[in-house]
Amino acid sequence: MPRACPVCLLLLLACGPFFYQAPPSLGTYPERIAAKRWSHLFAEAAPLDPALPAAAALDEVCRNLPETLAPLDTPKRLAEIDRRLAENRNGPYSARRANFLHELRELAADPALFDAAKSYVEWRVAHDTLLTTALAEERPWEMAEKEFKNLQQLHQFQLQQRRTFFKEQIAKAAPSMLPYWKVRRGAFLFASARHDEAAVDFSAVIADFAEHPRAEVASLMLARCMIEQSRELRGAEPAADKQDKILTLLTDAETTITEFIASHPKGRFTPDAEGWLGAIACDRGLLGAALKHQLARLDRQPTREITASVLRECDNIFEKLIESRDPDHHHGWLDPEADFDAAAIARHPLVARLFVQHCIDPAAHISLPLWWDDSESGGRGTIDFLKRRILLPKQFVRTALVVCKS
């Protein structure tokens, strides 16, 4: 009697064996030496002083500061503000808090101006916040179309409300307060990604109040508007058609910042300006020049908050260098502009340690493709990551390490 074979059994056998092959033993995998990232190095090198007030406590102190300063004379007002600036700088740093304290110090230096700015300062403390509803560029996949549209309408309503408020305040402001209100409106528009509109306000302050302390702030913020405008163009489609405009914006921003540093060599924002020169170089792909600016920034002001920012930016630069496909990086010669000056890194031990950490643990990368991003390509994103970061020879790394050691 002939034997019958069910069709379903044939289909199952055609699918191959009913098990997955066992993975290789751990000994066959490349050994990884887990290294420290920039945040770990920073925490070791500049631990937070437990005697300083926590962030929430310092925010509360700043909110009450105008009332605290009111009965004091000018020297005591300035001393109190300087004390809070030092606590912010050496403790849980906040750029927003620092900007408020610097502006308050400007006003407190002149008793008449401090009195005239009473309502402005009260508004800064109580209501100068970002919009509660941020406008996303694209609708999140989990959000319904109607809900997203409602959020867009709410954002536009809040934005128009704030625009109307600023317009009314500027229209009735005393001449001495005009630069303060205009810079605040420009800062709000900048934070709301309205960089073209913000640039108009900053340019007006520079033109109309050239000798005013707020013009210093406006000059740096105008350059930042240009940088953000160039990034918006780079992210637009098609970006290739806008290369000339992008380069023009970056060149104008670089010129503005270079002139700013020349005019304010000891200015309170000069280290930040040096950092933004590094951002421009990074956007141009000149990672070596970007690193030089970050190191120069640390030389100008080796404080706790600058150290943290410099380490974070250098971390980003090192990652880009090590994962680059550029064949020039296979050679021993280092271009100080396109790559980096290893000798300059060696003069900054903390930055040198960070570079060494990248070299001994190239697999540590926050951008390693996640499984849901990489599943459609069959894991090719991860394979490409491993090739660029681990398997691809990087002769320049060996050269840089030798220079750092010597």
pLDDT value, residue 378: 52
Return the closest-CA partner of residue 138 out of 206, 235, 34, 55.
235
Task: Specify if 386 maps to a domain.
Answer: yes
Do residues 275 and 294 make contact, with C-beta atoms less than 8 angstroms apart? Answer: yes
Task: Specify if 212 maps to a domain.
Answer: no
Question: pLDDT averaged over the chain?
Answer: 83
Cis peptide before 238 (omega within 30 of 0): yes
C-alpha pair distances (Å), 9 with each of 1, 126, 324, 369: 20, 74, 50, 38
Task: Specify if 356 maps to a domain.
Answer: yes
pLDDT digits (tens, 9 = 90+) for 106-149: 999 999 999 999 999 999 988 867 655 556 667 777 788 888 88
Task: Specify if 166 maps to a domain.
Answer: no
* Helical spans, DSSP H, in 109-144: 111-116, 118-126
Whether pLDDT at 234 is above 80: yes
pLDDT value, residue 193: 87
Task: Specify if 43 maps to a domain.
Answer: no
| Confidence bin at 198 (pLDDT 50/70/90) | very high
Residue with the bigger pLDDT between 404 and 99: it is 99
Q: Distance between CA atoms of 224 and 277, rounded to whole angstroms? A: 10
Q: What is the mean pLDDT of residues 147-158?
A: 85
Q: How far is CA 294 from the centre of its chain?
A: 13
Whether pLDDT at 191 is above 70: yes
pLDDT value, residue 329: 46
Task: Specify if 371 maps to a domain.
Answer: yes
Parent domain of 297: 265-273+281-406
C-alpha pair distances (Å), 335 with each of 194, 295, 296, 326, 341: 37, 17, 18, 12, 8
Whether pLDDT at 9 is above 60: no
Whether pLDDT at 333 is above 80: no
- Which of 16-20, 38-42, 153-157, 369-373 is most confident? 38-42
Dihedral sign of CA atoms 94, 96, 102, 104 in order? negative
Return the closest-CA partner of residue 82 out of 72, 130, 387.
72
| Confidence bin at 30 (pLDDT 50/70/90) | low
pLDDT digits (tens, 9 = 90+) for 56-80: 999 999 999 999 999 999 999 999 9
Give the count of beta carbons closer than 10 Å to the beta carbon of residue 404: 19
Q: Which of 78-87, 154-163, 225-234 has the lowest mean pLDDT?
A: 154-163
Q: Which of 75-84, 326-335, 394-403 has the lowest mean pLDDT?
A: 326-335
Task: Specify if 182 maps to a domain.
Answer: no
Task: Specify if 161 maps to a domain.
Answer: no
- Residue 251: in which H helix or E strand, if any? helix 243-263
Q: Distance between CA atoms of 58 and 88, rounded to whole angstroms? A: 8
Whether pLDDT at 214 is above 90: yes
Q: DSSP class of residue 98?
A: H
Q: How many domains does the chain have?
A: 1
| Confidence bin at 357 (pLDDT 50/70/90) | confident
Q: DSSP class of residue 27?
A: G
Residue with the bigger pLDDT between 144 and 206: it is 206
